[in-house]
Amino acid sequence: MFEEILLAVDGSEHALNAARMASDLANAVNSRLLLIVVAFERIPSYLGEPNMQIAINNRLKETEKILRKAREAVGNVSAEIRTEPIEGDAAEAIIEVAKTHNSDVIVMGSRGLGGLAGMLLGSTSQKVVSHAPCPVLIVR
Ligand SMILES: Nc1ncnc2c1ncn2[C@@H]1O[C@H](COP(=O)(O)OP(=O)(O)OP(=O)(O)O)[C@@H](O)[C@H]1O
Ligand SMILES: [Mg+2]
């Protein structure tokens, strides 16, 4: 059960809670793979050079930092850990990865970095819950 766990992170506290939960789950059910993904918006080519390269480099540094923090929150797990920055709309990219990897469960936060107070679920988690090909564990 839950051989492959897909953990989606965006650098928020909720996502770090999700990382801890994914870690506990992986250890509890002896998962084989914990795939940590962060999605970033496509960088428009109209920026031109060198601006596009600068934007890509900044984005890369940012996603690496988010993935590093998530790995720290995951800590020790017996499962193999893989990290992957993905491009595109967050929810669509997460669903796409879940489909191609045949993930058994997606673990993510209820809210993220977005600022709209009062909302119980952010738009990313709402969209993933609605369209995911597998169970989704939403962590507060
Ligand atoms: N770019 C992303 N890459 C990977 N996972 C993400 C990304 N954005 C959000 N998530 C995941 O979705 C969870 C919920 O974030 P979501 O974006 O739905 O809430 P929000 O930022 O508060 O609201 P909104 O984005 O609608 O303003 C996060 O805790 C994280 O697990
Ligand atoms: Mg968000």
Q: Which residues surround ligand 2, an ion (CB under 5 A)?
A: 112, 114, 122
Residue 134: helix, strand or coil by DSSP?
coil
φ, ψ for residue 84 (rounded to 5)? -150, 115
pLDDT, tens digit, for every residue of 10-23?
A: 999 999 999 999 99
pLDDT, tens digit, for every residue of 90-118?
A: 999 999 999 999 999 999 999 999 977 77
Helix axes 123-131, 90-101, angle to 10 degrees: 30
CA distance 21 to 97: 20
pTM assigned to the model: 0.97
Ligand nearest to the CA of 132: 1
Distances (CA, A) of 47 to 42, 56, 59, 104: 12, 11, 14, 39
Give, using CA atoms, the residue closest to atom 23 of ligand 1: 122
Cβ(27) to ligand 1 under 6 A? Answer: no
| Separation of CA 91 and ligand 2 centre (Å) | 9
